[in-house]
Structure 1
Amino acid sequence: MNELERIEDYFSGRLPAEERARFETSLQTDSALAEAVAFYLAAQQAAQSEARNRRKAEFEKLRTETPVIRRLSALPAFALAASILLILGLGSYWLFQRQSPSAILLAEQYIQENYSHVSITMDGRSDSLQTGISFYNAGKFREAGAVFNELVRHQPDNDRARQFAGLVALRTNQYAAAIDHFHRLSEQRDLFANPGLFLEALARLKRNQTDDKARAEILLKIVVNQNLEGKAQAEKLLEAF
């Protein structure tokens, strides 16, 4: 099986569970595979967009060449009623499509609703962590970032400090730093619940540079398929792609 067939089988659900798990693990470590998947998703989106534009152009040509009212007036009464209902239904669908929020907007809303304020931890961690969280909740991101990054420097495996350092970077639009923190967090395998991949997807959607949306989609699919932290919201975000 070549690489393209493997990628297509993964996204179509044809890979066996064991092979799918190996594929998802490879995505996190094999940059060439991740780039191939990102290209595949971008090509799929481009093809869908081209098809939509072609259908739209054909419909517009038909509409301008034959006025709608004149075409409908030649139909029997039952067909006329059905045509009007169809047009109204399509109009409602297009209106809904225009009003449906994008994955990027949903990511922004989720960040605002869930990370504008975080709970003070009571798990016996260092006083520095509590201090950093207090700064974060007060909107003092420079001070909070200094505390969390210092903790991470001395305690690279401190997942709470790593997560908060990433959140500070995310809230201050330092997306490269946020992505790095969240990616490192996702590599910690001994955590009961690890939001690293989900948070990295949010950061990539917010940054929205070349390939970011495609890579975010990959991460969200892994979160859903592996039942990781953030699965429910990942499913909602994927519906908006």
Structure 2
Amino acid sequence: MNDLERIDDYFSGRLPVEERARFESSLETDSALAEAVAFYLTARQAAQNEARADRKARFETLREESGPVRQLPARAWLAMAASAMLILGLGGYWLFQRQTPSAAEMADQYIHQNFSQLPTQMNGQTDSLQAGIARYNKGELPEAGAIFNDLLQRNPADDRARKLAGLVALRTGQYNQAIDHFHRLSERTDLFANPGLFLEALTRLKRGQPDDLREAETLLKTVIEQNLEGKTEAEVLIEKL
């Protein structure tokens, strides 16, 4: 895939989450890519302007060719105006519907904004968990997942590795595995802060299978009612469902 195809896929929303993260990271350091993006946006705006100008010119041509407007009874004009308003109203409704993001899109936006990068420790230590996080932040998700799953095999009670293994599964589209990790995490009662229920709800919104939306709503309500980790985010998401 060349740069222009990749750029077009990015702005059209066709790139997967991990690809978008790599694209945005490259944009910060790759001057050639930044120039290509600027060219793409300029060309797209010019094309849109040209298309509008072309439509306007065609309309003017058709109006000139049609000659004088035939006089119609006032009742006929009112009927035509009412029909036009109805069409515009329906058009506005469908436009609003198209602009309103789906549950999966809202989940995808949240995942992209909050889990594209993970915080790292600044004490200079490099244990297995930090090595996995470093791989994750580089976009090397399968390698990061292998590290986190190895940690879980050695210590199934490692809640940090459980959460991170779930995030890798979520971002790589392995939703069943992600739900299993987050559900197990939510069952822990010995943690000061437990994001398991919220992350499971997020995964169900993203997966979008039958009953997932209902299950996600139930989980989000539980997070809010029990003041669990993710309550603020849950309140925002549930208002949009």
TM-score normalised by the chain length of structure 2: 0.60
1:160 aligns to 2:150 (yes or no):
no
Residue in structure 2 matched with residue 112 of structure 1 by the alignment: 112
Residue in structure 1 matched with residue 238 of structure 2 by the alignment: 238
C-alpha distance in structure 2 between counterparts of 1:131 and 1:221, whole Å: 35
1:171 aligns to 2:166 (yes or no):
no
Which of structure 1's runs of 4+ aligned residues deviate more than 3 A? 69-74, 84-98, 121-126
Residue in structure 2 matched with residue 183 of structure 1 by the alignment: 183
Does the 8 A contact of 1:103 with 1:238 survive in 2? no
Residue in structure 2 matched with residue 9 of structure 1 by the alignment: none
C-alpha distance in structure 2 between counterparts of 1:193 and 1:125, whole Å: 24
SS in 2 for 1:237: helix
CA deviation digits over 1:32-81, x for unaligned, max 9? xxxxxxxxxxxxxxxxxxxxxxxxxxxxxxxxxxxxx959959xxxxxxx
- Compare relative contact order (CA 8 Å, sep 6+) and give the higher one, 1 or 2: 1
TM-score normalised by the chain length of structure 1: 0.60
| Distance change in 2, residues 1:228/1:202 (3 Å) | same
C-alpha distance in structure 2 between counterparts of 1:130 and 1:192, whole Å: 21
Quote how far apart the aligned CAs of 1:213 are. Answer: 1.5
Residue in structure 1 matched with residue 96 of structure 2 by the alignment: 96
Residue in structure 2 matched with residue 206 of structure 1 by the alignment: 206
Aligned runs of 1:70-81 on 2, under 5 Å? 73=78
| Distance change in 2, residues 1:134/1:208 (3 Å) | same
> Which residue identity does 2:147 align to in structure 1?
V
C-alpha distance in structure 2 between counterparts of 1:154 and 1:123, whole Å: 24
SS in 1 for 2:132: helix
Quote how far apart the aligned CAs of 1:222 are. Answer: 0.8
Does the 8 A contact of 1:152 with 1:161 survive in 2? yes
C-alpha distance in structure 2 between counterparts of 1:223 and 1:109, whole Å: 20
CA deviation digits over 1:165-191, x for unaligned, max 9? 001111111111100000011111121
Quote how far apart the aligned CAs of 1:238 are. Answer: 1.3
Does the 8 A contact of 1:157 with 1:188 survive in 2? no
Aligned runs of 1:116-155 on 2, under 5 Å? 116-121=116-121, 127-155=127-155
Quote how far apart the aligned CAs of 1:197 are. Answer: 0.5
Quote how far apart the aligned CAs of 1:88 are. Answer: 8.0
State the superposition RMSD in angstroms.
3.1
C-alpha distance in structure 1 between counterparts of 2:96 and 2:88, whole Å: 12
Does the 8 A contact of 1:194 with 1:228 survive in 2? yes
Quote how far apart the aligned CAs of 1:205 are. Answer: 1.4
C-alpha distance in structure 2 between counterparts of 1:184 and 1:230, whole Å: 17
C-alpha distance in structure 2 between counterparts of 1:72 and 1:125, whole Å: 78
| Distance change in 2, residues 1:179/1:70 (3 Å) | farther
The count of corresponding residues between Structure 1 and Structure 2 is 167
| Distance change in 2, residues 1:129/1:71 (3 Å) | farther
> Which residue identity does 1:210 align to in structure 2?
P
C-alpha distance in structure 1 between counterparts of 2:165 and 2:171, whole Å: 10
SS in 1 for 2:179: helix
Quote how far apart the aligned CAs of 1:125 are. Answer: 9.1
Residue in structure 2 matched with residue 229 of structure 1 by the alignment: 229
Overall identity of the aligned pairs, in %? 63
